[in-house]
Amino acid sequence: MEREFIMIKPDGVQRGLIGEVVKRIENVGFKIIGLKLLKVSLAQAKQHYAIHKGKPFYDGLLEHITCGPVVAIVVEGKDAVRVTRKIVGATNPTDAVPGSIRGDLALEIGRNIIHAGDSPENAIYEYKIYFSEKEFVEYNKIDEEWLYE
Ligand code: IDP
Ligand code: MG
Protein backbone atom coordinates (compact mmCIF):
# COMPACT_ATOMS: atom_id res chain seq x y z
CA MET A 1 0.00 0.00 0.00
CA GLU A 2 1.25 3.50 -0.84
CA ARG A 3 2.83 5.50 1.97
CA GLU A 4 2.68 9.23 2.64
CA PHE A 5 4.75 11.35 5.01
CA ILE A 6 2.94 14.05 6.96
CA MET A 7 4.25 16.56 9.47
CA ILE A 8 2.20 18.83 11.71
CA LYS A 9 4.42 21.91 11.76
CA PRO A 10 5.26 23.91 14.93
CA ASP A 11 2.41 26.37 14.27
CA GLY A 12 -0.08 23.51 14.10
CA VAL A 13 1.20 22.03 17.36
CA GLN A 14 1.22 25.42 19.11
CA ARG A 15 -2.35 26.10 17.97
CA GLY A 16 -3.54 22.80 19.44
CA LEU A 17 -4.43 21.31 16.05
CA ILE A 18 -2.76 17.88 16.40
CA GLY A 19 -6.07 16.14 17.02
CA GLU A 20 -7.86 18.06 14.28
CA VAL A 21 -5.25 17.06 11.69
CA VAL A 22 -4.99 13.45 12.83
CA LYS A 23 -8.78 13.15 12.81
CA ARG A 24 -8.97 14.18 9.17
CA ILE A 25 -6.24 11.71 8.19
CA GLU A 26 -7.91 8.89 10.10
CA ASN A 27 -11.40 9.72 8.87
CA VAL A 28 -10.54 9.18 5.21
CA GLY A 29 -9.42 5.66 6.11
CA PHE A 30 -5.64 5.81 6.13
CA LYS A 31 -3.72 3.56 8.48
CA ILE A 32 -1.19 5.32 10.70
CA ILE A 33 1.95 3.15 10.85
CA GLY A 34 4.31 5.68 12.46
CA LEU A 35 3.68 8.73 14.67
CA LYS A 36 5.92 10.75 16.95
CA LEU A 37 6.45 14.13 18.55
CA LEU A 38 9.93 15.53 18.00
CA LYS A 39 11.97 18.67 17.50
CA VAL A 40 13.46 18.89 14.02
CA SER A 41 17.22 19.50 14.05
CA LEU A 42 18.79 21.96 11.63
CA ALA A 43 20.47 19.05 9.83
CA GLN A 44 17.13 17.24 9.41
CA ALA A 45 15.45 20.45 8.22
CA LYS A 46 18.12 20.98 5.57
CA GLN A 47 17.64 17.42 4.29
CA HIS A 48 13.87 17.70 4.37
CA TYR A 49 13.73 20.99 2.47
CA ALA A 50 16.79 20.44 0.23
CA ILE A 51 14.72 21.09 -2.93
CA HIS A 52 13.93 24.61 -1.69
CA LYS A 53 17.55 25.64 -1.07
CA GLY A 54 18.25 29.04 -2.60
CA LYS A 55 14.60 30.16 -2.62
CA PRO A 56 13.76 33.43 -0.83
CA PHE A 57 11.68 31.66 1.82
CA TYR A 58 14.27 28.90 2.53
CA ASP A 59 15.88 30.43 5.64
CA GLY A 60 12.50 31.26 7.18
CA LEU A 61 11.31 27.74 6.44
CA LEU A 62 14.29 26.20 8.27
CA GLU A 63 13.84 28.59 11.17
CA HIS A 64 10.15 27.80 11.53
CA ILE A 65 10.32 24.02 11.20
CA THR A 66 13.03 23.86 13.88
CA CYS A 67 11.41 26.36 16.28
CA GLY A 68 9.31 23.93 18.32
CA PRO A 69 7.88 20.43 18.44
CA VAL A 70 6.30 18.85 15.37
CA VAL A 71 4.36 15.63 14.87
CA ALA A 72 5.75 13.31 12.20
CA ILE A 73 3.32 10.76 10.79
CA VAL A 74 3.53 8.02 8.17
CA VAL A 75 0.30 6.64 6.77
CA GLU A 76 -0.54 3.85 4.38
CA GLY A 77 -3.53 3.75 2.09
CA LYS A 78 -4.90 3.87 -1.42
CA ASP A 79 -3.37 6.78 -3.37
CA ALA A 80 -2.06 8.04 -0.03
CA VAL A 81 -0.04 10.91 -1.51
CA ARG A 82 -2.63 12.24 -3.94
CA VAL A 83 -5.46 11.97 -1.42
CA THR A 84 -3.42 13.54 1.40
CA ARG A 85 -2.49 16.50 -0.80
CA LYS A 86 -6.21 17.11 -1.36
CA ILE A 87 -6.95 16.88 2.37
CA VAL A 88 -4.03 19.27 3.06
CA GLY A 89 -4.99 21.85 0.39
CA ALA A 90 -2.99 24.37 -1.64
CA THR A 91 0.34 25.63 -0.31
CA ASN A 92 -0.99 29.16 0.17
CA PRO A 93 -3.92 28.86 2.58
CA THR A 94 -5.71 31.78 0.89
CA ASP A 95 -5.87 29.58 -2.24
CA ALA A 96 -6.77 26.38 -0.37
CA VAL A 97 -10.38 25.32 -0.76
CA PRO A 98 -12.75 25.19 2.20
CA GLY A 99 -12.84 21.65 3.54
CA SER A 100 -9.07 21.28 3.28
CA ILE A 101 -6.87 21.61 6.37
CA ARG A 102 -5.14 24.74 5.13
CA GLY A 103 -8.36 26.19 3.68
CA ASP A 104 -10.22 25.73 6.94
CA LEU A 105 -7.52 26.49 9.49
CA ALA A 106 -4.82 28.84 8.14
CA LEU A 107 -4.15 32.13 6.35
CA GLU A 108 -0.35 32.48 6.07
CA ILE A 109 1.79 30.52 3.60
CA GLY A 110 4.63 30.33 6.13
CA ARG A 111 2.23 29.11 8.85
CA ASN A 112 0.21 26.58 6.89
CA ILE A 113 0.01 23.95 9.67
CA ILE A 114 1.06 20.86 7.80
CA HIS A 115 3.65 19.35 5.49
CA ALA A 116 2.95 16.43 3.17
CA GLY A 117 5.12 14.67 0.60
CA ASP A 118 4.28 15.57 -3.00
CA SER A 119 5.13 12.20 -4.61
CA PRO A 120 5.50 8.63 -3.33
CA GLU A 121 9.27 8.84 -3.93
CA ASN A 122 9.63 12.14 -2.05
CA ALA A 123 7.46 10.82 0.79
CA ILE A 124 9.91 7.92 1.26
CA TYR A 125 12.91 10.29 1.07
CA GLU A 126 11.30 12.47 3.73
CA TYR A 127 10.13 9.82 6.19
CA LYS A 128 13.57 8.23 6.15
CA ILE A 129 14.90 11.46 7.68
CA TYR A 130 12.67 10.93 10.72
CA PHE A 131 11.91 7.20 10.95
CA SER A 132 13.79 3.95 10.61
CA GLU A 133 11.82 1.13 8.97
CA LYS A 134 11.76 -0.88 12.22
CA GLU A 135 9.78 1.89 13.93
CA PHE A 136 6.78 1.27 11.69
CA VAL A 137 4.04 -0.85 13.21
CA GLU A 138 2.37 -3.41 10.96
CA TYR A 139 -1.18 -4.33 11.95
CA ASN A 140 -4.65 -4.82 10.54
CA LYS A 141 -7.36 -2.23 11.19
CA ILE A 142 -10.74 -3.70 11.99
CA ASP A 143 -12.40 -1.75 9.15
CA GLU A 144 -9.89 -2.80 6.49
CA GLU A 145 -11.97 -5.57 5.00
CA TRP A 146 -14.85 -3.09 4.61
CA LEU A 147 -12.72 -0.18 3.39
CA TYR A 148 -11.11 -1.96 0.47
CA GLU A 149 -13.04 -3.90 -2.15
P1 IDP B 1 3.91 22.35 0.12
O2 IDP B 1 4.13 22.42 1.62
O3 IDP B 1 2.48 22.60 -0.23
O4 IDP B 1 4.45 21.09 -0.50
P5 IDP B 1 6.21 23.72 -1.05
O6 IDP B 1 6.16 24.47 -2.34
O7 IDP B 1 6.89 22.39 -1.05
O8 IDP B 1 4.70 23.58 -0.51
O9 IDP B 1 6.89 24.67 0.03
C10 IDP B 1 7.27 24.17 1.29
C11 IDP B 1 6.82 25.13 2.34
O12 IDP B 1 7.53 26.35 2.19
C13 IDP B 1 5.34 25.53 2.27
O14 IDP B 1 4.48 24.63 2.94
C15 IDP B 1 5.35 26.90 2.90
O16 IDP B 1 5.26 26.81 4.32
C17 IDP B 1 6.71 27.46 2.53
N18 IDP B 1 6.59 28.31 1.36
C19 IDP B 1 6.43 27.95 0.08
N20 IDP B 1 6.36 29.02 -0.75
C21 IDP B 1 6.50 30.10 0.05
C22 IDP B 1 6.52 31.50 -0.20
O23 IDP B 1 6.39 31.96 -1.32
N24 IDP B 1 6.67 32.30 0.90
C25 IDP B 1 6.82 31.81 2.16
N26 IDP B 1 6.81 30.51 2.43
C27 IDP B 1 6.65 29.65 1.40
MG1 MG C 1 6.36 20.44 -0.82
Residue type, 74: V
Is pLDDT larger for residue 149 or for residue 77? Answer: 77
Whether 115 is catalytic: yes
CA 104 to CA 112: how far, in whole Å? 10
145 CA to centre of ligand 2 in angstroms? 32
CA distance 142 to 126: 29
Asked whether residue 117 is assigned to any structural domain, the reply reads no
Residue 115: what pLDDT? 98
Name the domain count of the chain: 1
Active-site option among 48, 52, 64, 115: 115
Domain assignment present for 128: no
Degrees (nearest 5) of the Cα angle 25, 11, 95? Answer: 70
Residues spanned by the domain of 28: 2-110
Q: Please tell me the predicted confidence (pLDDT) of residue 149.
A: 85
How far, in Å, from the CA of 27 to the mean position of ligand 2?
23
CATH code assigned at 57 = 3.30.70.141
pLDDT tens per residue across span 96-138: 999 999 999 999 999 999 999 999 999 999 999 999 999 999 9
Dump pLDDT digits (tens) for 41-71.
999 999 999 999 999 999 999 999 999 999 9
Does 124 map to a domain?
A: no
Determine, yes or no, domain membership for 95.
yes
- pLDDT at position 128 is 98
pTM reported for the whole predicted model: 0.97
Residue 143 forms part of a structural domain: no
